[in-house]
Amino acid sequence: MTGVFSKTVTAFVLGAAVSSLSPGPAAGQTTPGFGAEEFGFTQKQLVQAIEQVESLISRCMLEQGFQYIAADYETVRAGMKADKKMPGLSEEEFHSKYGFGVATMYTGEPPQLATGYSPAKLGLGERNVAHFRSLSAAAQVAYNRALFGENPSATFAVAVETEDFSQCGGCTRKAIEQVFKPEQLKSSYYNPQNALINKDPRMKAALRKFTAEMKTSGFDYAHPDDVEPDIRARLAALTNKGTLLVDKMSAEQRLQLKQLQDFERRVALKSYRLQEDLISPVEEKIQRELFARKVQ
């Protein structure tokens, strides 16, 4: 998830596990020190970081007595690319029908047991999903507790795509902490490219318009980045961090979930349209000015 919408305010610094990488500008960039991928990575750095985290997850799970096969870059990337995408639907149609795909897709089931749209499941890889499904119900609970901690929806692929590791736990969190710097684990972290773009007076003006338009529609958000994390936080509060099955909800909880789903659809579509109309054109212009010239 790159661009002004991603959760990213400090310059990117590689973690200890990737400190041997040589961070330099991606092709066509003029600003050294970060790339155009998630968390300010160049593509090479993103590949290496993903593979290192996955290897560390596998090692940690083995120490816990569980099998986890480290997913390769393409597998994790597939999960990232699937975010807010569904065959036959445009991005606007997806937002209209499913919002961000957060509360609207919630079942309370582990991601490995998902039968439809699930970037989390894709990012885990077929072999890990098959192994999980071979376990008993009790073993599945213990497995996901070791892998994800308290929030089974906070998978590595989803966290990288949303640039937000704050809800990750278990072996996933332990592995991330060895590859990324502490500031990158916080929800307040900003991708350095986006932080630079957001300082531009034109972007500040566009964000003021975004805030005003959102308020006119009854939504109190000052930045596109604030919307989806708020939906995730509300859902986590309602569902005991994603562990409450829908069929185990009380009538009041089901009503609250439906209200959150309706809210998600409305706010996601409004935010998306404002991004397309107000934010993206300004962002693209600033990007061209900042990064179009070849590095000398």
The single residue listed with the structure tokens 């376990």 is 135
Residue 70 is given by DSSP the state P
Q: What is the mean pLDDT of residues 44-56?
A: 96
Q: What is the mean pLDDT of residues 10-20?
A: 34
Tell me what pLDDT residue 13 has.
31
Q: What is the mean pLDDT of residues 72-90?
A: 94
Tell me what pLDDT residue 37 has.
85
Output the six-digit token pair for 76.
Answer: 């994790």
When pLDDT is cut at 50, 70 and 90, the band that residue 23 belongs to is very low
Distances (CA, A) of 53 to 210, 227, 261: 36, 28, 33
Q: What is the mean pLDDT of residues 25-50?
A: 70
Q: Residue 17: which residues within 8 A CB-CB, separation 6 or more? A: 49, 52, 56, 178, 179
Q: Considering only CA atoms, which of 233, 278, 280, 262 is closest in space to residue 99?
A: 262
Q: Considering only CA atoms, which of 251, 261, 212 is closest in space to residue 99?
A: 261
Average pLDDT, the chain: 86
pTM: 0.80
pLDDT at 247 over 60: yes
Tell me what pLDDT residue 131 has.
98
Range of the domain at 177: 1-296
Between 194 and 137, the more confident residue is 137
Q: What domain count does the chain have?
A: 1
Burial of 84 (0-12, 13-18, 19+ CB in 10 A): buried
pLDDT at 143 over 80: yes
Q: What is the pLDDT of residues 162-192, one digit of tens each?
A: 898 988 999 999 999 999 988 888 777 878 8
Tell me what pLDDT residue 34 has.
64
The single residue listed with the structure tokens 């994800």 is 148
Tell me what pLDDT residue 288 has.
86
pLDDT at 152 over 70: yes
